[in-house]
Amino acid sequence: MTDMNKTQIEPTEKAEILKALSHPKRVEFLEWMREPENHFCSQAHPVEMGICAGQFEKCCGLSQSTVSQHLSVLEKAGLITLKRVGQWSFYQRNEDRIAAFIEELRNTL
């Protein structure tokens, strides 16, 4: 009864998530995605679909390839999910996973 049926975070996953969060830019990406309308207002598609990869590029002054890599790290850690629509990649926060991670920290750290 401590953790209901929330997604469980394995030790290996916890380490991977912490690594993903060790770069300030990636943390920023996650935080921006909390309020998409404030940070990605120039997006043509509705923000409910997720944030288009290209949107990050404009906000952060990094190259396209670097942004793509950062997003990939976040995705592999499970903190965001990727949905491809046409030629675009839409990323979304994985709220369950993020919450589970913080809960894991609360319990173990």
Partner DNA sequence: TGTTCATATCGGTCATTGCCGATATATAAA
Partner DNA sequence: TTTATATATCGGCAATGACCGATATGAACA
Q: In the stretch 15-54, what mask flags binding to DNA with x, by CB under 7 A?
A: ----x--xx-x--------------------------xxx
**CB of 100 closer than 8 Å to CB of 8:** yes
**CB of 15 closer than 8 Å to CB of 9:** no
Q: How far is the CB of 86 from DNA (least distance, A)?
A: 3
Q: Does 7 help bind DNA (rule: CB under 7 A)?
A: no
Of 7, 13, 21, 59, which one interacts with a second copy (CB under 8 A)? 21
Q: Does 24 help bind a second copy (rule: CB under 8 A)?
A: yes
Nearest to 53, CA basis, from 65, 66, 68: 68
Q: Does 84 help bind a second copy (rule: CB under 8 A)?
A: no
Strands ordered across the beta sheet of 80-85: 51-52, 88-93, 80-85
Query: Of all residues in the chain, what percent are helix, strand and coil, respectively (each to 5)?
Result: 55, 15, 30
Interface with a second copy (CB under 8 A)? 14-15, 18-19, 21-22, 24, 27, 30-31, 98, 102, 105-106, 108-109
